[in-house]
Each structure stands twice: as C-alpha cells, then as structure tokens.
Amino acid sequence: MISLSLLSFLFLCSQQSSASQSGPYFPTHNFPTDRSFHLSYDFGVLKTGRNYDETGSSTPLLLNSQLFRYRHKLTPEYQVNRNFNVGAYIQVDSLNLADEDGNTISKKGFSDQVIFSEYRFFDIPGASVGVATLVKFPFYENTTVSKFLDSGEGSTILIGDAQTDFSVMATSELWPSNFIRFRLDFGYTYRSDSFGAEIPYLISAGYVSKKVDIDLRLKGNFSLENDAIVADNSTAAENSQLLQTAFGDSNYALSGNPSATKFETAISFWFDPLWGASASFEKSLRGKNSPQFWGIQFGLTYRFLEREERLKQTAREVDISTDQEKGVFEGEGGFGEDEFY
C-alpha cells in the first residue's frame, strides 16, 4: 500500500524530478485479461511560454515567445497473456513558435517513438508487481550549429532532444476495493549522448467501473544531475546553448540536468466493451531547467478482449434422504446392493 509518508516524500522531492519536454514515459498498464489488443488514437495540444530556471523560478521565453505542440499519437498494444504485454507510442508532432514581434516558425514530422513491455511476476486478486522496459528513440534529426549558422535564419525549431533513452521500471498495482486502484512505478533511465541518467516515477489513484475510469497522477524523474552537456567550457555545452537560444531560449528540447514534476487528471468512458473515449489534462507544477507548460488530450480506443473458458464448479443438489442411507452402495450390472458398515 502506498503510505502517506512516501507520497509526501516524493512530492517534496519533486523539485528534482522529470526530464525536459513533457516528462517521462510509462507503460499503459492495461491489465489483466487472458488476451487482449488495444489500439488508441490521441490528439493533444501542449503550450509553453515560460521556463523554470536554475533556481526553480519561472521566467518568460525570449521576446515573450509562445511554443505550441500539436501531437498525433497512435498506441497499439498486445497482451499475450495475463502476465505479459508489449506496445508502442507512435508520435507525430507539429511545433509552432511565435514571438511578440510577429515572427513565427513551424516544423512537423515524426518525433520521439517509444516501445515498451511489461511482465507481471506476482499477480493475485487485488494486487500485482511487475517489471517494465521502455526504449525512447528519435525519428528525426535536429539541426546542427553549422547548418543553422549557414542557413542565415534567426530562429529554429527543435522537435526534441534527439537522443535515446533506455528505462527499466518496477511496477505495482493495488486494489483496496472493487472500484479503487492505486499504482506506483519507479526505475532507472539511461540517456545516451552524455545526457544525465534519471529515476522516473509515477503515483496514481483511480476510480474504476465498467463504464468510467478516472485517474489522478503525479509523474516525474529524479535527475542524477550528471549531464556532460553542461560541463564548463565544453563545445557541446556552447553548441547546445546556441541552439537553445535560437529556439526562443526554451527548455522544451535542450537543457542541462532538467528537473520538474507534473500533475495529470484523465477520464475514460466506454460506450460498449469494444469502444471508448478519453480526455486528459496535464500541468507542470515545479521544476528546474525545464519548461513550464500545460496540455490537453482527447482520444478514442478500440479494444478486443478474450478470456479463456473455464469449467465452473457448482454444488450438486442431493436428496435429504441421502444422509440417512449412508453406507449403502448401489452396485452395477444387476448385482444388487452391497452394504458397508
């Protein structure tokens, strides 16, 4: 069970948690059935016009710039059995950056893609514990400093940090009643290209029925603050800062040792066993070297569930006189009756 002391500890430490962009990724946790397939489409809008700086204070972007991200996300997921599932987040983003002088710049295309899997090694009615793996990788390339300078442009768009993450997480779920669900995930994220490693976590509490699923979530990462990209006088740090400044000085894609935490609320409604609709709202709460943002998302899900048929054991009604005839055996083949004493 998630204790109040653990919740308080994680919230107080959230000053040192989460990556840039809109935070870490987690598996969907669509368990348990004997076998299932989910396919979801989501459209979301995220807006940021301010950063959390090194001290955690909120500061506006250069020239009061506003960055909008429009995201199309497709989530196929297949659950092989009650213990194992695999899935992916396929994402296409469109970003628009505009400043107070009326200058605008846009870019769209495939962004970060995610492949995930989850295995539940402990599963009893009302509780489960498992392990999940996630790989986040870019389907794009950010401009280099030389290309940007040769272009003669005054600004640029960075779709993301353009590097790969490998995450391993412990996952858990607790149902204190048929309608209340708690989840706790945490793990370790290795980030390539000399970016600092992180410890992602998710805490959620939800109300669940056959028709409606309402969830409250706290997400973030504990940054280990070992980004080589911010090493003093390094070429990588200078190039990163130049591109970040050309991106309105936004911490959305590139920043050293980013940390933040965000709150999400989500609701899903099932029209019937096959089709459902969802909506969610997210907002950054605090951070350091990360964007201050809010976002909304709407989605539609198709699912196919399959349960293995099991023989039901039922009590056979017996005449009350049976007890009175205890010890009497009715033989077969016309041999008559044998008595046992």
Contacts of 326 (CB under 8 A, 6+ apart): none
Contact criterion met (CB below 8 Å) for 157 and 106: yes
A 10 A CB-CB count for 200 gives 24
pLDDT of residue 112: 96
End-to-end CA distance of the chain: 55
Residue 49 CB contacts under 8 Å (≥ 6 apart), including other chains: 60, 61, 64, 65, 66, 67, 292
For the chain, list residues with pLDDT below 50: 1-18, 322, 325-341
Which residues are 259's β-sheet partners?
Answer: 288
Q: How much is the pLDDT for 211? A: 95
Domain ranges of the chain: 4-309
User: For residues 77 and 333, is the Cβ–Cβ distance under 8 A?
Assistant: no
Q: What is the pLDDT of residue 154?
A: 87
Cα gap 28→183, rounded to integer Å: 11
The DSSP output letter for 65 is: -
Residue 9 CB partners (closer than 8 Å, separation 6+)? none
**Residues with Cβ within 8 Å of residue 284, at least 6 apart in sequence:** 52, 260, 261, 262, 290, 291, 292, 293, 294
Predicted local confidence at residue 151, as pLDDT: 86
Q: For residue 1, what pLDDT is reported?
A: 40
Distance CA 235, CA 194 (A): 13
Query: Tokens 């710039």 belong to which residue?
Result: 65
* Predicted TM-score of the model (pTM): 0.83
Cross-strand bridge partners of residue 213: 208, 268
pLDDT, position 233: 62
The tokens for 79 are 């659950």
What CATH architecture is 4-309? Beta Barrel (2.40)
Task: Please give the angle made by the CA atoms of 48, 149 and 138, to the nearest 5 degrees.
Answer: 50
Q: How far apart are CA 26 and CA 114, in angstroms?
A: 10
